[in-house]
Structures are given as structure tokens and as C-alpha cells.
Amino acid sequence: MTKRIIVGVTGASGSIYALTLIKVLALMEWQVELVMTSTGEKVLTFETGADRQSFPDNVHIHENTNLFSSLASGSFRTHGMVVIPCSMNTLGLMATGTGDHLLARAAQVTLKERRPLVVVPREMPYNIIHLENMLRLARAGATIMPASPGFYHHPQEIQDLVNHVVGRVLDQFGVDHTLFERWSGV
């Protein structure tokens, strides 16, 4: 099977996580199937300066309004999906199995096909609705990974913190990387 992963980008702040993940996967010659909410695309450009032309050829952008996209079908094989950053609105849509846009549908397909779904919520604090939606997704098989970097690797700059979160996401898919120094004990 082609090394293929779906990356969903929503309107939560933290687009640097998505951009870093996409760049790392593209450099590793993964086919990235990218779907962005309209607000996600705006936040990505606002926070990072990246736009649709910023991505390499192995990043295929799917329109969030296109429910005829290959991502809407379980017969389209991928290694899974990550939603990074994930807004509470999109998290709610995924948790309830609702929504008339591709990102939520692709997440539903990922779960029904028993493929890894990693959700990286970035907003805080969480209210009880957010927590219950995260629990519902976790019970359905998703991995919830808040954007909470570790500090044991002594980060020197923001990109070090970003790399830690992105590296931990890659770990969920079994993708080898050198984005941070792993803990080896003291």
C-alpha cells in the first residue's frame, strides 16, 4: 500500500503543528491527503504565511465541501488520519458522527474502517461538553493527543516544542523520525 495519510486542519490556533507535520511527511515521501476547513485554511495562512501553493507535489488538497472525494469512502486506503489542530467545533462533529463536510466524513470513515484517528485539540480550557466529546471519540477508537509538548529534551526554541508534539503524533502511526531526543532515563 502507498504510504498515505489524511491530515485535517481546522480553525483552532496552532497551524504550525499541521504545517510541520505536513512538511515532515512530505519529506519522508508520504502521500499527504490534506483537507482543511475554510477557517482552518485562513488560520494556517494568518499564523504561518503558508497557502495552497506552499505545499509540495505529494500533498493532495481535497475541498472540504466535496463529499465525492476519495476520502469519503472506506475503499480508499490510508494509514489513518490526524486532525491537527482540532477545534472544539470539529471535535463535536466527529464525536457525534454528524456534519456535511469532508473532514468530519473522513474521520467517520477512518473510525469505521478501524484505522488510526489521532485528534490534536489545541483549544483550552475544556468544558464538560469538550471532555465528553473527547471521551466519545476515544471510546470509538480515536487517540486524543492535546498539543502538550514535553520539556525533558530541553527545548531551546518554539520549533523544538512543535517538533515534540509532531513527533509524538508520528509515533502513533509507527513513523520513525528524529524530531526530538527520546527520554532515556537519568
Closest CA to 118 of 88, 152, 84: 84
Contact (Cβ atoms closer than 8 angstroms) between residue 71 and residue 33: yes
Confidence at residue 99, expressed as pLDDT on a 0 to 100 scale: 78
What percent of the chain is predicted at pLDDT more than 90?
92
**Is 107 part of any known ligand binding site?**
no
**What percent of the chain stands above pLDDT 70?**
100
Q: Where are the beta strands (DSSP E) in 37-131?
A: 59-62, 81-86, 117-121
Predicted confidence band at 38 (pLDDT cuts at 50, 70, 90)? very high
Q: Is 11 annotated as a binding residue?
A: yes
User: In the predicted model, what is the mean pLDDT of residues 83-101?
Assistant: 95
**Domain 4-172 class?**
alpha beta
Question: Is residue 37 a known part of a binding site?
Answer: yes
* Amino acid 100: pLDDT: 87
The answer, yes or no, to whether the previous bond of 146 is cis (omega within 30 of 0) is no
Tens of pLDDT along 74-87?
999 999 999 999 99
Is the per-residue pLDDT at 121 higher than 90?
Answer: yes
Residues 13-22 have pLDDT tens digits of 999 999 999 9
145 is in an annotated binding site: no
Q: Is residue 75 a known part of a binding site? A: no
Average pLDDT of the segment spanning 162-180: 97
Tens of pLDDT, residues 172-186: 999 999 999 898 887
Please check if 45 is assigned to a binding site: no
- Does 89 carry a binding-site annotation? yes
